[in-house]
């Protein structure tokens, strides 16, 4: 970055990171981001965090940014309204565990933490012990543990089929990607994959393990994926259709 641009950015350290836009009786928060490579003002919706993000060019002004956001108030409102509604982890909420619906059943006087049992009507219950304020955290912790167990097993199977080894499997709440592979052999995944059908989780494990052979998305890479996961196109189609919906689970 040039000295002129450094000075330009330093002069703006006190500018707000969020502005508000009023439209049709509602107030919308807009996150401000400066990008030294941007050539114009742009708006996007971060669906996982349900945020509106406005990117400013280096010499863009706060006044112009506000005018740009207000001009696109209808667009923001329409896009946000189309997002799936949040579904917090509370008593009686329904979530898909390995693609199968489970209803959260709070058992405040029971011993233990989280377990699965069949309800009297045959429905699958995700039972949670303890006080009500702990339900959300206990469900999330349980899902992360299950995701780590399934993804570690699937990653090891995929790596063995490719003749490579995995150094470590990490579970995160990634919003921009479902998985990643480092050059050191560490595979990282979103814990939300435990909410998808098993064949989708297996595909992501195959995808990231294949990066241990081909650190790119070349034809050679996809040949490796198809060799150990012939049904990968079905999994990709499922993620395209339903992946964004997984981010609503556990949101308040």
Confidence of residue 142 (pLDDT cuts 50, 70, 90): very high
**238, 196 contact by CB (below 8 A):** yes
Find the mean pLDDT for residues 161-190: 93
What rounded mean pLDDT belongs to the chain?
91
DSSP string, 178-189: SEEE-TTSEEEE
According to DSSP, the residues that pair with 249 across neighbouring strands are 87
**139, 114 contact by CB (below 8 A):** yes
Long-range contacts of 218-227 (CB under 8 A, 24+ apart): 224/162, 227/161, 227/162
Tokens of 217: 């998305």
Instruction: State residue 122's pLDDT score.
Output: 86
- For residue 249, CA distances in Å to 68, 90, 108 come to 32, 10, 22
**pTM recorded for the entire structure:** 0.77
Instruction: Mention every residue, 6+ apart, whose C-beta is less than 8 A from residue 74.
Output: 23, 24
Residue 39 has pLDDT above 90, yes or no: yes
Could you state, in order of their start, the residue ranges of all structural domains in the chain? Answer: 3-82, 94-248
Confidence of residue 12 (pLDDT cuts 50, 70, 90): low
Find the mean pLDDT for residues 73-88: 88
Closest CA to 201 of 251, 248, 158: 158
Confidence of residue 117 (pLDDT cuts 50, 70, 90): very high
Instruction: State residue 175's pLDDT score.
Output: 75
Find the mean pLDDT for residues 3-9: 52
**Between residues 70 and 9, the one the model is more confident about:** 70
For strand 42-46 and strand 94-97, is the pairing parallel, antiparallel, or unpaired? unpaired
Tokens of 140: 């999330």
Q: How far apart, in whole angstroms, are the C-alpha atoms of residue 182 and residue 57?
A: 31
Report the top-level CATH class of 94-248.
alpha beta
For strand 42-46 and strand 26-34, is the pairing parallel, antiparallel, or unpaired? unpaired
Residue 144 has pLDDT above 90, yes or no: yes
């Amino acid at each position: 970055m040039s000295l002129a641009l450094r000075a330009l950015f330093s002069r703006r350290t006190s500018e707000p990171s969020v502005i508000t836009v009023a439209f049709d009786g509602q107030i919308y928060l807009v996150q401000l981001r400066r990008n030294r490579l941007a050539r114009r003002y742009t708006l996007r919706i971060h669906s996982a965090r349900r945020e509106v993000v406005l990117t400013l060019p280096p010499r863009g002004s706060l006044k112009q940014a506000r005018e740009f956001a207000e001009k696109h108030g209808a667009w923001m409102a329409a896009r946000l309204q189309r997002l799936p509604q949040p579904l917090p982890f509370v008593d009686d909420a329904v979530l898909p565990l390995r693609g199968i619906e489970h209803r959260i059943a709070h058992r405040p006087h029971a011993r233990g933490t989280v377990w699965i049992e069949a309800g009297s009507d045959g429905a699958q219950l995700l039972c949670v012990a303890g006080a009500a304020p702990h339900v959300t955290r206990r469900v999330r912790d349980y899902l992360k543990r299950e995701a780590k167990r399934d993804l570690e097993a699937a990653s090891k199977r995929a790596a063995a089929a490719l003749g490579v080894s995995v150094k470590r499997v990490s579970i995160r709440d990634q919003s921009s990607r479902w998985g990643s592979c480092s050059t050191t052999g560490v595979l990282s995944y979103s814990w939300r994959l435990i909410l998808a059908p098993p064949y989708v989780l297996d595909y992501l494990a195959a995808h990231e393990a294949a990066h241990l052979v081909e650190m790119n998305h070349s034809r050679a890479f996809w040949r490796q994926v198809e060799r150990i996961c012939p049904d990968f196109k079905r999994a990709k189609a499922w993620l395209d259709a339903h992946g964004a919906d997984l981010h609503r689970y556990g949101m308040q």
